[in-house]
A = this chain, B = another copy of it.
Amino acid sequence: MPAVTALRPAQRTIFMRNPEAPVGARKFEVTCSSCNLRELCLPGAVGEDDLARVENLVYARRRMKRGESLYDAGDEFNAVYAIRSGFFKTSLLDGEGREQVTGFFMGGELLGMDGIGAGRYHGTSIALEDSEVCVMPYSLVEELAREMPALQRHLHAVLSREIVRDHGVMMLLGSMRAEERLAAFLTNLSKRFVRRGYSQNEFHLRMTRDEIGSFLGLKLETVSRLFSQFQKDGLIEVNQKHVRILDIEGLGRVLAAKH
């Protein structure tokens, strides 16, 4: 299902912010200014004065069921998406049918920027739980970025940080051993959950062992064995998708261990 369906009239009526619409239709209408993810999101650094204009970035919102794809590789690019709630994976499929998970994304993070360059999305984004995203038409983003230096700066920063993130993943895949990869993965998740106000030590993995494995360049059995080993070593407590970190410094030591 192409991304444009998010903008079809029926949904637009429901989700589009429209001053003329009866207030009751969506009582607790969420705006960027009231969104608790604002600092993490695209409107991030924009000052109070310009905030009203940035609100226009969000042309619509789209609800996603678990397993649904926000866009597929090759779909025409026309918007980037900010995650309002939920959890996503992005992945690539090569000619041989191999899947490579390129990232996991959560509230306040942006999806779809891989489509700007070619006019088509390069990868696929799939919701790993029921989610909601803000649809930001790219032409609008461009236009506002030209008029608001703060937004422009922040947009570039977001793109640049995605590059930096990718380089971190390259380091992980290119020069870390299996146990280091998983330790890095867990500490990274932990940090990101904390910024969103969740527990630093306890969380629910939304992805399967296979998806973790694909992201880390490991087989699912190896991931499973490592979880068990970390538990045996007293670093974590793991039960299926539920993880509790017992010794965050210990995980750090796994990362710093001589290779």
Contacts and interface: CB of A to CB of B under 8 A. Distances in A.
A23 interface: no
A110 to B, nearest CB: 11
Interface stretch (A3-11, A125-133, A146-154, A196-204): A146-154
Given A98-B171, A114-B160, A116-B156, 4 more contacts: A95-B256, A98-B175, A117-B160, A175-B214
5 contacts: A92-B171, A100-B170, A100-B175, A114-B163, A174-B216
A96 B94 CA distance: 33
B152 A142 contact: yes
Contact of A152 (B102, B146, B160, B216): B146
A170 B169 contact: yes
> Quick one: which of A95, A116, A146 has the most chain B CB within 10 A?
A116
A188 to B, nearest CB: 14
A205 interface: no
Given A115-B160, A146-B149, A160-B113, A123 B167 contact: yes
A101 B170 CA distance: 9
Contacts of A96: 256, 258-259
A258 to B, nearest CB: 7
B122 A167 contact: yes
Given A142-B152, A256-B96, A117 B175 contact: no
A161 interface: yes
A14 interface: no
Contact of A166 (B163, B214, B255, B258): B163
A118 interface: yes
A85 B160 CA distance: 24
A186 interface: no
Contacts of A117: 156-161, 163-164
Given A117-B160, A149-B142, A256-B95, A170 B170 contact: yes
B118 A174 contact: no
Contacts of A256: 95-96
A32 to B, nearest CB: 21
> Quick one: which of A152, A153, A160 has the most chain B CB within 10 A?
A160
A247 interface: no
Nearest to A257: B96
A168 B166 CA distance: 10
